[in-house]
Amino acid sequence: MTETDRRVLVVGGGPVGLMTALLLADRKIPCTLFEAEADLPTDLRASTFHPPTLDLLDRHGLAPKLIRLGRVCPTWQVRLHETHERAEFDLSLLRDDTAHPYRLQCEQGHLSRLLLDELKMQPEVELRFGASVLAAAQDEEGVEIELDGGERVRGALLVGADGARSTIRRVAGQELDGVTYPETTILATTDFPFEDHLPGLSNVNYVWTRHGTFSLLRLPDRWRCSLYPAATQSIDAALLPENLEARLQEIVPRPVPYKVFESRAYRVHMRIVRHYRVGRIVLAGDAAHINSPSGGMGMNGGLHDAFNLVATLDEIWNGAPLDLLDRYARQRRPVAEAEILTQADRNRARMQERDPAKRREMLSELQQIAADPDRCRAYLLRSSMIDGLRRAALL
């Protein structure tokens, strides 16, 4: 096998593929990253970074840079809009469990940009943007991918980090089993200072209203509002400026229109592949699991995949058997299923609840948890994804 054939091929230049490539470079493992787009995508995606993800990024000097670009949020809330009653969770209770006892609100594009800047300085990494992978095959010796245009590239191992519509997942014969929820969510950003109008508002808020639900997440210079169109409204109609305006006016009525910077619609799923590894092909991030953004765990979980996977690839690169890849699957898949998908599903179900009596019951339970330091710490260890990482290490 030539030196070129020993490269790890990473497909996908989202946060998970970029992180994987950088971690490989740290270990002096040559890799080539293929990204279909000509540049990094800039669409509105993740904004929540959980404490253990920042701890992992700290080891690579990325956390302080990211923190400078985002907003540190020491608390988060579930609240009733009309009465302002709330349960507030204080992440400082995790001060002995993490060096970052808070959520960071920061656009995922900032992390991608930081990762790309680092990657450009790594001699082991070849970056191929505008390179769409159409097909892949594997044999005893290695893997081979085919790019749009016909070029073929060989390598030793293939990481599919090519997102929810993954080509590599299809090549590996895997399907994202699960459900797609009925609702579509609209995400809009505005600079309106909600904090001056809603008493006791935190920087991260999941809110029940008489008619439905919304969430408000605060970035350094704007709020991200997740809104739900009326059942009778089409998605195109929901995205019209006048209809976005109507939704925002329901949060805080004001005489002048809201300034909306960006908006997008997205569907919400709970899906996971059966096998993370098929021979020399491994899947990571959204290519392997997708979940409701409620609780902000998808990208975080994908980054945790990358750290685990590269530790395993390093051992294989240094002579361990290929089957060690099963350890990655064994450690990460159950955690994605039980800690990420299930929790995100629970978060979504809680906020979709419409029955006022059940909401009150849930709020009261959450308030009791928040008021009890031991229960609250246990709850936060789980919702902040620390438990998941600890559990994976034991599997």
Interface positions with ligand FAD (CB under 6 A): 11-17, 34-37, 41, 44-48, 108, 132-133, 161-163, 167, 187, 266, 285-286, 293, 296-300, 302
**Residue 3 CB contacts under 8 Å (≥ 6 apart), including other chains:** 30
* Smallest distance from ligand FAD to CB 56, Å: 13
Tokens of 63: 């956390």
Q: Which is nearer to ligand FAD, 20 or 357 (CB)?
A: 20
Q: Which is nearer to ligand FAD, 41 or 334 (CB)?
A: 41
Q: What is the Cα–Cα distance from 79 to 330, expressed in whole angstroms?
A: 37
* CB-nearest residue to ligand FAD: 14
* Smallest distance from ligand FAD to CB 79, Å: 19
Q: Residue type for 64, please?
A: P
Q: Position of tokens 């469990």?
A: 97
Residues 158, 282 contacting (CB under 8 angstroms): yes
* Smallest distance from ligand FAD to CB 293, Å: 4
Residues 161, 21 contacting (CB under 8 angstroms): no
Q: Which is nearer to ligand FAD, 58 or 85 (CB)?
A: 58
* Smallest distance from ligand FAD to CB 16, Å: 3
Q: Which is nearer to ligand FAD, 352 or 367 (CB)?
A: 352
What does R_g of the chain's alpha carbons equal in angstroms?
22
CA 275 to chain centre: 20
H/E stretch holding 225: strand 223-227
Q: Residue type for 338, please?
A: A
List 87's β-bridge partners, or say none: 78
Residues 170, 158 contacting (CB under 8 angstroms): no
Residues 112, 40 contacting (CB under 8 angstroms): yes
Using DSSP bridges, classify how beta strands 152-155 and 281-283 pair: parallel, antiparallel or unpaired.
Answer: unpaired
Q: Residue type for 96, please?
A: D
DSSP 3-state assignment of 79? strand
Q: What is the Cα–Cα distance from 35 to 41, expressed in whole angstroms?
A: 10
Q: What is the Cα–Cα distance from 394 to 384, expressed in whole angstroms?
A: 18
* Smallest distance from ligand FAD to CB 149, Å: 12
* Smallest distance from ligand FAD to CB 44, Å: 6
Q: Which is nearer to ligand FAD, 29 or 36 (CB)?
A: 36
Q: What is the Cα–Cα distance from 166 to 246, expressed in whole angstroms?
A: 36
Q: Which is nearer to ligand FAD, 28 or 165 (CB)?
A: 165
H/E stretch holding 272: strand 260-272
Q: Which is nearer to ligand FAD, 70 or 163 (CB)?
A: 163
Q: Which is nearer to ligand FAD, 93 or 115 (CB)?
A: 115
Q: What is the Cα–Cα distance from 384 to 288, expressed in whole angstroms?
A: 21
* Smallest distance from ligand FAD to CB 83, Å: 27
Q: Which is nearer to ligand FAD, 23 or 36 (CB)?
A: 36
DSSP 3-state assignment of 378? helix
* Smallest distance from ligand FAD to CB 227, Å: 12
* Smallest distance from ligand FAD to CB 10, Å: 10
